[in-house]
Amino acid sequence: MRNISTKKKSKFLTYILAFMPGAAEMYMGFIKMGASLMTVFCLSFYCWTVGMDFVGIASMVIWFIGFFHAINLYGTEDAKFNQIEDDWIWNEFFDGVGVKVSEEKKRKIVAIILIVAGVVALWDVIITTIEKLIPADLWDAYYGMVRDIFYDVPQFVIACLIIFIGVRMIRGKKKELLVEDKQNS
């Protein structure tokens, strides 16, 4: 069950905190829900700020989802509000079918996310250092080509990683459906 009591608090503070995805949920005691929403938003926003412009739309959608989720959560009838379990935000969008991930897989996923975020964060430092080491005349001559290669590599790698994770999720769901069909037969 819950470790922290969930309750409706100040309507004004809930509204103000709703502007940061996940903060209002945590304020009301839904720590997993709020932390997961905040993490998804911050990761998408970070990817957008490092040049992955296509993620900008996702950041805006996640922000709106977070804002209205908090407002609707606060507006839930008291009886229903008290029955809401604190769970990861993505479980709400799978029609009650929880996404079960083992502790080992969680560590691997977090490790991969940290490694990718670290590489992307260091990439700009590496590029700046390379720019300083190459003579100005040579750098000016090849700047456009080098810039395109160096600045597009992180976006390419992250896009490939997103596609890979999506394919893995589809394959996992397909296998799950096949197992259910065999059991129902």
Token reading at 111? 């490790």
Per-residue pLDDT averaged across 74-89, rounded?
Answer: 80
Vertex 37 angle, CA 110 and 66, to 5°: 160
- Reported as a pLDDT band with limits 50, 70 and 90, residue 90 is low
Q: Worst-scoring range by mean pLDDT, 50-54, 104-108, 120-124, 135-139?
A: 50-54
For residue 28, the model assigns a pLDDT of 87
Q: Give residue 164's pLDDT.
A: 81
Q: How confident is the model at residue 1 (pLDDT cuts 50, 70, 90)?
A: very low
Inter-residue contact 74 to 8 (CB < 8 Å): yes
Indicate the pTM of the whole model: 0.52
Pair of tokens at residue 57: 């739309």
Q: Is 69 buried (19+), middle (13-18) or exposed (0-12) by CB count in 10 A?
A: buried
